Amino acid sequence: MKALVYTAPSTVVFRNEPPPKTVSEEVLVKVDAVGICGSDLHAYLGHDSRRVPPIILGHEVSGTVVEGPNPGSKTVINPLITCGSCDDCLDGRTNLCENRQLIGMNRPGAFADLISIPATNLVNIPDSISSVDLAMTEPAAVSLHAVRLADRVLARPISEGSALVIGGGVIGLFCVYFLRDYGCTEITLTETNPLRRKTVEDTQTCKVIDVEKHSVESKRYDAVFDAVGIKVTRETSIDAVKNGGVVLHLGLGSAKGGMDARSMTLSEITFIGAYTYTAYDFVAAARKIANGAIQPLNWVDERPLSDGAAAFQELIDGRVASPKIILRP
């Protein structure tokens, strides 16, 4: 089969690879569409020691079952493989399973013609739904999980408050979509890349500002979603959130800096690290996309898998207007 293989820092190669072999209780899926995630970019740059080359990256994937139950059916893959028996799994917090694996990290990913996956990780969807839309289920689930966490912690429902989203990538934009779905109408998004900023503005879903020209108002927002995760965005989050508000930290840009614990304590700010999604979040996100509740999705940049190397470099260079590039094998 053909695959896009991460072979060394800043290098992905489109080449022939042996097809995957299914083991007990796994199915073989033909990849129809797969997104490039920010974590794939970190790996590409050599910044993720968990992804050791050579490896096939990619975990935002929809496809068609080739071998296994319901062959020929359209499906979206939950890329988090969990044990199902630890305390966290039994408690419904599958994203915290200490034995979890992720395709494209601990096992071959989806930048390929075919992928093998446990049958329990498939979410079957009507054939009428776009494979490209379905491939965005994984980032959508990340954002849905964060919005659910915020709504659970806030003193009043998020529909009665205001929200700031930092970062106009796909996670940030899906945060906006799910905040709207939860009834929040006062939403501001910040983005420094003018191409991305224009794309978000065109969705007409929220107020968009350029923080290099307009500062974020202090103590203004009930909930802040940091979809970037670097020192300056953490500082902005803590400064922008109201007393008693909540900061949802989704981005994994860098690990250090930006945490003023004294200020957070005096203002009784809740800081939550929101990691991936539960199995329920994933299914709920897939259903939201399938029934058209999360719109518009017309900003996706589709490219052939064979052009993956160029797509990676354009993303690194900041030359992509779309929040998401989807590769098609």
pLDDT in tens, 258-303: 888 999 999 999 999 999 999 999 999 999 999 998 989 999 999 9
| pLDDT tens for each residue of 64-118 | 999 988 899 999 999 999 999 999 999 999 999 999 999 999 999 999 999 999 9
Architecture of the 141-273 domain: 3-Layer(aba) Sandwich (3.40)
Q: Are 77 and 27 in contact (CB under 8 A)?
A: no
Spatial distance between the Cα atoms of 40 and 312, rounded to a whole number of angstroms: 9
Cβ atoms of residues 176 and 165 within 8 Å: yes
The mean per-residue pLDDT over the stretch 189-214 comes to 95
* CA angle, residues 19, 62, 296, in degrees to nearest 5: 155
The SS3 assignment for 106 reads coil
Q: Which amino acid, 105?
A: M
Residue 56 has pLDDT above 90, yes or no: yes
Band (119; pLDDT cuts 50, 70, 90): very high
Q: Model pTM?
A: 0.96
Domain 2-136+300-328 of CATH type 3.10.20.600: no
The yes-or-no verdict on residue 127 having pLDDT over 90 is no
Segments of the chain assigned to CATH 3.90.180.10: 2-136+300-328
Where exactly does CATH 3.40.50.720 map onto the chain?
Answer: 141-273
Q: Which residue has the tokens 């503005």?
A: 201
Is residue 22 predicted with pLDDT exceeding 90? no
Instruction: Give me the pLDDT at residue 93, please.
Output: 96
Six-digit token pair at 10?
């800043």
What residues are paired with 165 via a beta bridge? 189, 225
